[in-house]
Structure 1
């Protein structure tokens, strides 16, 4: 595509602020909550992460698309972001094992992307003003766009897990593996399943609204609650599931949205952050070992740390060193722990992969 053929495009924020850029691929309009990811690599994994469903992704890295796309670097079966906002978009790619360009990847999935936006200015703005709904568009009628934007629901109270969860249960891994896991899909990433399978697990993945009886019928050795998009509070069925697993003292591990579900199931509150944590360089401290970890994170909601500290059955295990928010917790007398961040780290870093080993160890100890 020649530079001169590209249309003018805009980013319009809910408060009326406008940033101008140029279109990539298809024309059209896309809505969602604007958020930014600070990762320098891994854009394909980010775009296909179900946790980003319903959000417009702004990438802070200045160059996007320069290494193309590869089917081995997807976290789900399709792009999950609502649209892309970036600074410099590369229509050509140089990686030998790339299978296509990022431009074609978006066109094939009929998704809008815009570039030549002053992304540093946008990041500074939403960092100060907070996350808000926005629209990207090649349309020129601002009045129409503003009216449509008003109708987009706020992320607070929004249930999105049902939009990305599997419709039917499915299996992942070697059926002859020594351990069996029942996993609740509220937006699960493929690399989580790979990490469990690589550790000798055969996983049955269940829809978001599955009951304890349905998941327990698989006769699993452990239970897993996945990451996912939206507000955790509306996920009442998942909270009831967590209550049943904990009541029976069965091995339970939760990541991100699953972590928040475990909290809510125990009367611990969650809240929407000013603009969330999204990137692959977030510092976390493990309070049990005293060690630091550089982590991959993607969340706009968080568990209230004070509630965990004041809960007789829980203890804080990890904290985020940038803002002291809760990054991990465990139950004192039950086989249950969870973290806010992503130990599967696709893309990296892999400082936190030991958490999968910890889950396996918990399962094996429970079997003795």
Structure 2
């Protein structure tokens, strides 16, 4: 097996120098160089086509349980900082990259990416032929895989193959409980400004309760920016606990894992929230579980959508927006019940990207309008939510 050397060129004779391997459940092996912490990490291997925002992706809770293959080759070239993170801990299980991590070349960097990975005990591999791996995923679907990083270069490939093959996979896995907050908390931080950094909402006009299935910080900032006081509650919060906070609106957050698995305890709560008449907005996992609560079904995708270049059509306006996405499950269009309207559609493969409940202030989208990382075409959805809240409270 070949891999890339320090200059990114393929070297057919240097396999003995490998300090890391990626082993898939079918026995396919990629040799390369270890980055981050030594050790082993297992998960579903996916690919992300974003050209920016690797730090946001690695800290996006929706990536829990996954090993991210970055198709953009220059990962690490802007270093790391303490602002571009979406959760207090690492969310992704590991990373797979083409070229070795380079020295940072950005004015906001406070250190190299490899140091950041080590400080958070995140394991990765560089020198992988990511084109070949991405082609594999597109053809065969997202496989189980394991990254092993050892400086001595000694690997038990048979044992690693067995571990990868026996990992249960994301289907049927509830990961929201692993990434959600332990107790409720208040949020008032607003969007980032190049001159002043993050701001603070000091004159909120509305109270939003956000159910944390793995919420990204920039979603909360986007809501706070529009004049909201936000109370974040755990994924396991009951309907009574949510309503006791007297919300003007309810937000159903993004998150990892199988929506049907998390939905066993979340869907009954969401169903009651919809019945209450309180304006409700869901993103990603929140969108999927809202659909289940309304009577629809979800399914595992072949390879998923992960990247910041996904075209989506808003069928309520006719406009096309370029979106940031990260999901491996999708709502079955044919399962949408009467009274639920599809509002957004993927222009890549035609899958459902958004829905609304007829006659009720309830809607959701599959993708990430907070644009962290990614384009800002979909920011209008937060204002659409606020408009529903204000109309309800007028």
Q: TM (normalized to structure 1)? A: 0.96
Q: Which residue of 1 aligns with 2:371?
A: 345
1:265-280 equivalent positions in 2, closer than 5 A: 265-280=293-308
Q: Which residue of 2 aligns with 1:319?
A: 345
The reply on whether 1:131 has 2:142 as its aligned counterpart is yes
How many angstroms does 1:49 deviate by?
0.1
The reply on whether 1:22 has 2:33 as its aligned counterpart is yes
Residues 24, 165 of structure 2: 8 Å contact kept: no
The unaligned stretches of length 5 or more in structure 2 are: 7-13, 189-200
How many angstroms does 1:91 deviate by?
3.4
1:229-248 equivalent positions in 2, closer than 5 A: 229-235=256-262, 236-248=264-276
3-state SS of 1:97 partner = coil
Q: Which residue of 2 aligns with 1:213?
A: 240
The unaligned stretches of length 5 or more in structure 1 are: none
How many angstroms does 1:218 deviate by?
1.0
Q: Which residue of 1 aligns with 2:223?
A: 196
3-state SS of 2:83 partner = helix
Please, which moves more after superposition, 133-142 or 344-353?
Answer: 133-142
3-state SS of 1:127 partner = helix
Q: Which residue of 2 aligns with 1:106?
A: 117
3-state SS of 1:233 partner = helix
Residues 91, 103 of structure 1: 8 Å contact kept: no
1:222 to 249, 263, 274: 249
Separation in structure 2 between the aligned mates of residue 6 and residue 315 of structure 1, nearest angstrom: 56
Please, which moves more after superposition, 22-31 or 333-342?
Answer: 22-31
Separation in structure 2 between the aligned mates of residue 188 and residue 244 of structure 1, nearest angstrom: 21
The alignment covers a number of residue pairs equal to 365
How many angstroms does 1:147 deviate by?
2.3
3-state SS of 2:344 partner = strand
Please, which moves more after superposition, 170-179 or 106-115?
Answer: 170-179
The reply on whether 1:44 has 2:55 as its aligned counterpart is yes
3-state SS of 1:162 partner = helix
Q: Which residue of 2 aligns with 1:162?
A: 177
3-state SS of 2:77 partner = coil
How far does the alpha carbon of each residue in 1:115-146 deviate from its partner, in whole angstroms, 9 at most, with x for none? 01000000001110001110111351112112
3-state SS of 1:21 partner = strand
Q: Which residue of 1 aligns with 2:198?
A: none
How many angstroms does 1:334 deviate by?
1.4
How many angstroms does 1:7 deviate by?
4.4
Q: Which residue of 1 aligns with 2:281?
A: 253
Separation in structure 2 between the aligned mates of residue 131 and residue 7 of structure 1, nearest angstrom: 24
2:385 to 342, 359, 362: 359
Separation in structure 1 between the aligned mates of residue 279 and residue 27 of structure 2, nearest angstrom: 48
How far does the alpha carbon of each residue in 1:270-317 deviate from its partner, in whole angstroms, 9 at most, with x for none? 000000000000000011100000000000000011222xx2111010
1:147 to 162, 175, 184: 162
Separation in structure 2 between the aligned mates of residue 26 and residue 248 of structure 1, nearest angstrom: 48
Separation in structure 2 between the aligned mates of residue 237 and residue 362 of structure 1, nearest angstrom: 27
Please, which moves more after superposition, 77-86 or 255-264?
Answer: 77-86
Separation in structure 2 between the aligned mates of residue 181 and residue 96 of structure 1, nearest angstrom: 35
Separation in structure 1 between the aligned mates of residue 307 and residue 211 of structure 2, nearest angstrom: 24
Q: Which residue of 2 aligns with 1:303?
A: 331
Residues 210, 237 of structure 1: 8 Å contact kept: no
